[in-house]
Chain A
Amino acid sequence: MNAAFLYALVGVGLFCIGLYALIVHAHLLRKILALNIMGSGVFLVLVALAKRTGNAIPDPVPHAMVITGIVVAVSATALALFLMLKVAAETGRAELPEERGE
């Protein structure tokens, strides 16, 4: 097993940790952070698996996707944080309301 797979497995681990935190925590800031960790895991998998070319030069296409992905993830996080601030200002809590049936 070469190092690329080790990094890819770390990426899978990050994704799953993020998914667990996304489900478990109710606070919206924690959910946004969890989504970012999931995204980092995906980026790590993409970059790591691009290394399997067999020579020193990795596959540049996943790298290009990750570069734009990082910037887009930052902007999406900014939008999510702003929505969270609005929810907190509306309801006084940075959490989504419970189901209506209860």
Chain B
Amino acid sequence: MCISRWLLLPLILVLAAGLGYAVLSLPDQAEGLQKMVAAKMEVSGVSNPVTAVLLNFRAYDTLLEMVVLLMALLGVWSLGSPPPQPEPAPDPVLDTLARLLAPVLILVAAYLLWVGADSPGGAFQAGAVLGAAGVLLLLAGWRLHHGLTGLPLRLALVAGPAAFVAIAVLTMFKTGGLLEYPQAQAGILILILETVATISIGVTLAALFLGARPEHRKKQ
């Protein structure tokens, strides 16, 4: 055990040296795809290059990443109920903090979503903030009303990927290319996609934190 650990350390150091050499041997200046993105910014519908890449030039990637997120949640849900954990004791400080912070976080998420069109921000950042709001509320003992844990929750979870697929099909009929927006409507289509994606990402992250599928009590 000890010998293998002493053998491991030099091996990792060799790997680090190799990777470091590989990084340092890269050219000092490399344009990458920056010029190409900048040249196409006018037709993208937004003015933030990262959002343009995410939601327009490589929207196909983003569609599949939304699906990966959903798959992770399906994986968690299909594993059944988690081992019983102690119920969090009611904590007035956490409770007050959650009550104060949750609306602020939702507002920040909306701002990040809106500002994503022309400065840093966008669906994934806003979704992460929304997910954090959900996690905070779950920590404070809040649970989704059980009338909403059935179909409404699932609709919120699949809304993002579904909107992506719907717009992909529509644009395929309109312009002939998958997720190739008509130039005049690109801005509004991206905003719609980002809004729905934000909600789905936020709900998915909060549901992942909760772990098991929420009980649906309609049958009882």
Contacts and interface: CB of A to CB of B under 8 A. Distances in A.
A79 interface: yes
A96 interface: no
Contacts of A68: 54, 61-62, 65, 124
Contacts of B37: 59-61
| Chain B CB within 10 Å, residue with most, of A2, A12, A76, A89 | A12
A5 B29 CA distance: 11
Interface string B59-84: 00110010011001101100110110
Is chain B's binding surface mostly helix, strand, loop or mixed? helix
A35 to B, nearest CB: 14
7 contacts: A9-B20, A16-B13, A60-B50, A60-B52, A78-B208, A79-B72, A83-B79
Contact of B75 (A2, A49, A79, A85): A79
A30 to B, nearest CB: 15
Interface string B76-110: 10011011000000000000000000000000000
A61 B32 contact: yes
Contacts of B26: 49, 52
Interface residues of B, number: 52
Contact of A24 (B5, B19, B62): B5
B48 to A, nearest CB: 8
Interface of A: 1-2, 5, 8-9, 12-13, 15-16, 19-20, 23-24, 45, 49-50, 52-54, 57-65, 67-68, 70-72, 74-76, 78-79, 82-83, 85-86, 88-89
A79 B76 contact: yes
B204 A75 contact: yes
B53 A74 contact: no
Given A60-B34, A64-B50, A75 B73 contact: yes
